[in-house]
Amino acid sequence: MKISVIGTGYVGLVTATCFAFLGHDVACLDIDEKKIEGLKNGEIPIYEPNLDKLLESTKATGKFPIFTTDPEEAISHGEVIFIAVGTPPKPNGEPDLKYLEACAETIAKHAKDDAIIINKSTVPVGSGNWVYMLIEHANPTLLFHVASNPEFLREGSAIFDTLYPDRIVIGTDGDFAKTKLAELYRPLIEQEFKAPEYCHRPEFIEAKAAKSKIPFIATDITSAEMIKYSANSFLAMKISFANQVANICDLVGADIVEVMNGIGSDSRIGAKFLNAGIGWGGSCFGKDVHALIKIAEEYDYKPDLLTATCDVNYRQRNLVIKKLQEQMKILKGKRIALLGLAFKPNTDDLRDAPALDIASALIKLGASVSVHDPIAMPNCKKQNPDLAVTYVDDVYELVKNKDAVVLVTEWQDYRDLDLEKVYSSMNGNKILLDGRNIYTPDEAARIGFKYIGMGREAKESKPALV
């Protein structure tokens, strides 16, 4: 099938590459000339594991995507046109739809009759109707169809999530688009393809093998749009719930990891997204929860649970500062190392990253802050030139003579650290604040650290009862 993708960010580029890998003819449009020139040479402008390899593999099949800044070339190419432009939040939490509006007006000029225009971007409920209105107004003679196809990609595992999704959701108001999109997605629904091993994540190999067929959920446009916001809001709520319980565990002396293991084993609840810590960040959860809040408020409905989800999350970042103050009293003049900058592992994305808020708060209180991240440091230097931190390329150099080390992002590199070597390099209080609960408290305490978890602590061993 001939596919057009408008926007070459995380969603657009992964979508385009995977469809090209599956054998479709793909054209990608972006206004950034430098990015497009790089993509023509196989240069990936984002960090997403193995995306460069998958894009390169399309050359062998003759399906390497067309990358262009020419709207006519890209849009007239497509039977199916995916809109994958940004919808960043405004200061009041509403999504900014200026790129979506410009995209719709451009499509109206260049699309061919019977084109299916799909909102792949996360857009407010009602955007399908709005896009239809914009295109129809700009080109009344064009025959076209509008659909919603929300993405459920996780940065760091976006290829896997595209090729082996939990479900495919399509929102349409007509049989033509539904039939066409079912045909488009058939190789994924039926799992009729063979992907290179680097497209798999080891922890998901068993799950992948068990998926004989992917659920195809066909609904109306409004419900499809609501599915996306509801899914992300629920996942964010699960994390915030775990964090609120963790804070209670701190008060009563329970271990949040044990508590979440206990409740997550209930099939009605599930274990995923119950990891307590310093909270979620990134471009999706906060934006989507706030957008759903705004939608509710348009109808004079107060979504208390969604509001609390955000409040709990952002308090977790401040809790890091409070925990350090409880141990060191005064932070002025203290030397603190942060492990991780990206909002999650396996990405260089710093949007709404907890590390940035934590670093800024520590600096404001007079601490000296040094940071390390396996991937995100170049991005941080570029995007936050006024952030007064010291960037250190080697983790063991980072921790030298530090009073406290704060684990912010759970990169595998940090899970594999030699904690005894870290301890011996530090000075002063030798605090290990485990913001993601990835270390064993008793082991850290045995080494000598003052271990601080999020809802857990080191337990002193007790003599056996006689």
The 10s digit of each residue's pLDDT in 71-117 is 999 999 999 999 999 888 888 878 889 999 999 999 999 999 999 99
Q: Establish how many alpha carbons lie within 13 A of residue 399's alpha carbon, considering only the half-sphere containing its beta carbon.
A: 25
Residue ranges of the chain that CATH labels 3.40.50.720: 2-219, 238-452
CATH 3.40.50.720 fits 238-452, yes or no: yes
pLDDT tens-digit map of 218-273: 999 999 999 999 999 999 999 999 999 999 999 999 999 999 999 999 999 999 99
From CA 322, how far away is CA 81, in angstroms rounded?
A: 49
The pLDDT of 36-60, averaged and rounded, is: 93
pLDDT tens-digit map of 283-335: 889 989 998 999 999 999 999 999 999 999 999 999 999 999 999 999 999 99
What does the pLDDT read at residue 205? 57
Alpha carbon of residue 340 to chain centroid:
15
What does the pLDDT read at residue 296? 94
pLDDT tens-digit map of 120-166: 988 888 899 999 999 999 999 999 999 999 999 888 889 999 999 99
Among 11, 117, 19, smallest CA distance to 65 is for: 19
**CA-CA-CA-CA dihedral for 279, 284, 289, 290, to nearest 10:** 110
Residues acting as catalytic residues: 284
Q: Mapping DSSP to helix (H, G, I), strand (E, B) and coil, where does residue 329 land?
A: coil
pLDDT tens-digit map of 370-393: 999 999 999 999 999 999 999 999
Residue 337 has pLDDT above 80, yes or no: yes
What is the bridge-based pairing of β-strands 335-339 and 404-407? parallel
Global pTM value: 0.89
What does the pLDDT read at residue 299? 95
Tell me the Ramachandran region of residue 196: left when phi exceeds 0, alpha when psi lies from -120 to 50, beta otherwise.
beta
According to DSSP, residue 336 is labeled E
Domain 2-219 architecture? 3-Layer(aba) Sandwich (3.40)
Residue 462 has pLDDT above 90, yes or no: no
The pLDDT of 345-357, averaged and rounded, is: 95
DSSP H or E segment with residue 4: strand 2-6
| Rg of the chain on CA atoms, in Å | 24
What does the pLDDT read at residue 123? 83
- C-alpha distances out from residue 139 to 48, 80, 113, 129, Å: 38, 18, 11, 15
Residue 209 has pLDDT above 90, yes or no: no
What does the pLDDT read at residue 173? 86
What does the pLDDT read at residue 201? 60
**Sequence letter at residue 330:** I
Region of poorest pLDDT, from 174-183, 211-220, 306-315, 336-345: 211-220
